[in-house]
């Protein structure tokens, strides 16, 4: 069965960087895009971008361009999402999600989330 297992919670200082991992299993990793979505405490969902595991190509929401980097390592079926120059408003739960189906880019199956806390 499809599984997306994310790395553990992180606590970072303002100005630092963080890198969250998302290990996939139960399907062919390179066949489906991985999305990243975040949710600030008590707030709604915010799409950040996607990475194409086959090519490494990415597409970022305008808000995150220049500060977010999405990569992947096909040898270990793992996607990564990094955020630099962290601010307090980056405190959020970060989710990875697999493309729903071949030909349908919609986020379908989600990881359990990684809480990133940014303190000053």
Q: Closest separation between CB of residue 15 and other proteins, Å? A: 28
Q: Would strands 104-110 and 92-101 be described as parallel, antiparallel, or unpaired?
A: antiparallel
Report d(CA 101, CA 120) in Å as an integer: 41
User: What's the Cα-to-Cα distance from 5 to each of 26, 78, 107, rounded to whole Å?
Assistant: 11, 9, 15
Q: Residue 16 or residue 23: which is nearer to other proteins going by CB?
A: 23
Q: Closest separation between CB of residue 84 and other proteins, Å? A: 22
Q: Residue 16 or residue 115: which is nearer to other proteins going by CB?
A: 115
Q: Residue 82 or residue 109: which is nearer to other proteins going by CB?
A: 109
91 dihedral zone (left: phi>0; alpha: psi -120 to 50; beta): beta
Q: Kind and range of the H or E element at 15? A: none
* Residues in Cβ contact with 65 at an 8 Å cutoff, skipping those fewer than 6 apart: none
Q: Which residues bind other proteins (CB under 8 A)?
A: 35, 37, 44-47, 59, 61-62, 95, 97, 100, 104-113
Q: Closest separation between CB of residue 39 and other proteins, Å? A: 9
Q: Closest separation between CB of residue 45 and other proteins, Å? A: 4
Q: Residue 53 or residue 107: which is nearer to other proteins going by CB?
A: 107
């Amino acid at each position: 069965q499809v599984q997306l297992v994310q790395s553990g919670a992180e606590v970072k200082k303002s100005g630092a960087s963080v890198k969250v991992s998302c290990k996939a299993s139960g399907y062919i990793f390179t066949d489906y895009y991985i999305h990243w979505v975040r949710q600030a405490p008590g707030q709604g969902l915010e799409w950040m971008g996607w990475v194409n595991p086959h090519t490494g190509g990415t597409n970022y929401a305008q808000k995150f361009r220049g500060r977010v980097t999405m990569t992947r390592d096909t040898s270990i079926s793992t996607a990564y999402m990094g955020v630099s120059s962290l601010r307090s408003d980056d405190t959020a739960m970060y989710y990875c999600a697999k493309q729903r189906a071949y030909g349908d880019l919609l986020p379908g199956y989600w990881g359990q989330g990684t809480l990133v806390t940014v303190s000053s």
